[in-house]
Structure 1
Amino acid sequence: MFETILNEEERGQVGIGTLIVFIAMVLVAAIAAGVLINTAGFLQSQAEATGQESTDLVSERIDVTSEVGIVGNNSTGELESIRVAVTGAAGSDQIDLSETTIQAVGPNGQANLVFTDEAANGTSLVNNESTYNASSLNASEFAVQDSQGDWVSSGGAVLDDENDYTIVLNPGAEPFGSLTADGTDGTAVYGGTWTYAHQTADEEAFGQSQSSSLEIVSPASATTSLELTSPDLYSEDGEAVRL
């Protein structure tokens, strides 16, 4: 039934062949194991990154606590500023408002608004609270004030457990109003003298019965959406109206 190999040379050749096959199988198994380990490590890292991104999209979000407009001219039905009070969502880490963007759609188009701590003429807003107001902000920009009404620089506009801020928008500038900023000096529409974006009284600012939508996008890309709807009638100059 079995063939007896009497030649010793033939016995050695069979043994070497078996050994070669065995070594090849071990090498293939080792390579396959290495590939599996590397793939598992990559998938684990990717899963952790995806999980962190998903967590950030939920937790690193900006909450809006109030949306208020300050009436600048009751007779023409215009606002002099739009103020959006914001805070960090529950469980969020620090959120840098200077790295935040606002995607705005208004009566006069749409724009991506970015943070600024400078007026339209390029001078600093910080420590100049009595000199500048929302009308001094350029189109496509927003500024931030603290709870005392002081303008905040880029290094200080960080939401955390102890600090909430107010985002200030210029209702006269696009996309809310029909005005583009030119950064020249003059007498402002709503009184006082400063460098401002809302340049002339014959152009429109955001006001009565108008609406706008905002999407506030945090540095982690978490988005907060809100609608601004102005009342149909203002009572007096300087009043705060809920939007």
Structure 2
Amino acid sequence: MFEFITNDDSDRGQVGIGTLIVFIAMVLVAAIAAGVLINTAGFLQSQAEATGQESTDLVSERIDVTSSVGIVNNSSTGNLAEIRVGVAGAAGSNQIDLSSATIQAVGPNGQENLIFTGTNQTNTTVESGATVLTNTSDIPDGGFAVQDSSGDFVPASEAVLNDEERFTVVFNPETAPFGGGVDSNEYFGESDSSSLDIVSPSGATTSVELRAPDLFNEDGEAVRL
């Protein structure tokens, strides 16, 4: 009437349960491993896309230099009144905000990191509700300004390079590192040289060398640097 479980049958049942437990554990480990691999793959894909975009920006979001000239202030003393560097966006570039660019300059009086200046400066006038520079001599130490094709200094909101806009980056030759600093009466002039690294907001760098002629001929003339 009753069946008794022999030891052999009991052992087989225990082995089967043990195998099932091992199988379930293997499935859980595989699922966890798969989740880790998926997360890692997603992270690597995101990182690769970000790196690719950064690399693209470094190539395409570059500022091209089209000209570099100086305007003579006094030919007898050999001083410049302005240093002017024409800039445009590189071929295929998107809009480039010059107000967010930095310029690493090395000149006769050391090295400086120059930033955009165009508003809230002293010796300025108010136009259209915004305070803007009116003269190159207003550009303070540590700064550069931007002029449009009409020769007007522009505020930060308008200093944006695109396919149609070109600008001139303007430096005060009295400010360091070109001269000795504002009110120093020491200007960038004859035979002086300087190097500029123009760094766009994306980090793309354009280098330009400035070298003034050994002799200026007349006041107000434009000389190639």
TM-score (norm: length of structure 1)? 0.84
Which residue does the alignment assign to 1:113?
Answer: 114
Which residue does the alignment assign to 2:143?
Answer: 141
Q: Using a 3 Å threshold, how does the CA distance of structure 1 residues 229 and 132 change in structure 2: closer, same or farther?
A: same
Which residue does the alignment assign to 2:186?
Answer: 204
Rounded to whole Å, the distance in 1 between the matches of 2:127 and 2:106 is 28
Given residue 104 of structure 2, which amino acid in structure 1 is its aligned partner? Q
Partner residue of 1:166 out of 165, 168, 175: 168
Which residue does the alignment assign to 2:3?
Answer: none
Give CA-to-partner distance per residue, 1:163-194, whole Å, 9 cap, x none.
Answer: 110000000111101123xxxxxxxxxxxxxx
Which residue does the alignment assign to 2:82?
Answer: 81
Would you say the 8 A contact 1:118–1:124 is kept in 2?
Answer: no
Would you say the 8 A contact 1:216–1:223 is kept in 2?
Answer: yes
Give CA-to-partner distance per residue, 1:60-100, whole Å, 9 cap, x none.
Answer: 00000000100000100000000000000011110000000
Q: CA deviation at 1:15?
A: 1.1
Which residue does the alignment assign to 1:189?
Answer: none
Rounded to whole Å, the distance in 2 between the matches of 1:36 and 1:51 is 22
3-state SS of paired residue (1:53): helix
Would you say the 8 A contact 1:120–1:136 is kept in 2?
Answer: yes
Choose between structure 1 and 2: higher helix proportion. Answer: 2
Give CA-to-partner distance per residue, 1:119-165, whole Å, 9 cap, x none.
Answer: 7516457579xx83211110110110000111111001000011110
Rounded to whole Å, the distance in 2 between the matches of 1:66 and 1:238 is 18
Query: C-alpha root-mean-square deviation of aligned residues, in Å?
Result: 1.9
Given residue 155 of structure 1, which amino acid in structure 2 is its aligned partner? S
Rounded to whole Å, the distance in 2 between the matches of 1:13 and 1:171 is 91
Rounded to whole Å, the distance in 2 between the matches of 1:10 and 1:41 is 47
Rounded to whole Å, the distance in 2 between the matches of 1:222 and 1:235 is 37
Rounded to whole Å, the distance in 1 between the matches of 2:45 and 2:115 is 36
Which residue does the alignment assign to 1:223?
Answer: 205
State the aligned residue count: 217
Q: CA deviation at 1:9?
A: 2.6
Unaligned runs of 5+ in 2: 1-5
Which residue does the alignment assign to 1:36?
Answer: 37
Rounded to whole Å, the distance in 2 between the matches of 1:239 and 1:126 is 29
TM-score (norm: length of structure 2)? 0.91
Which residue does the alignment assign to 2:100?
Answer: 99
Does 2:4 match 1:22?
Answer: no
Rounded to whole Å, the distance in 1 between the matches of 2:134 and 2:220 is 16
Rounded to whole Å, the distance in 1 between the matches of 2:84 and 2:120 is 17
Unaligned runs of 5+ in 1: 181-198
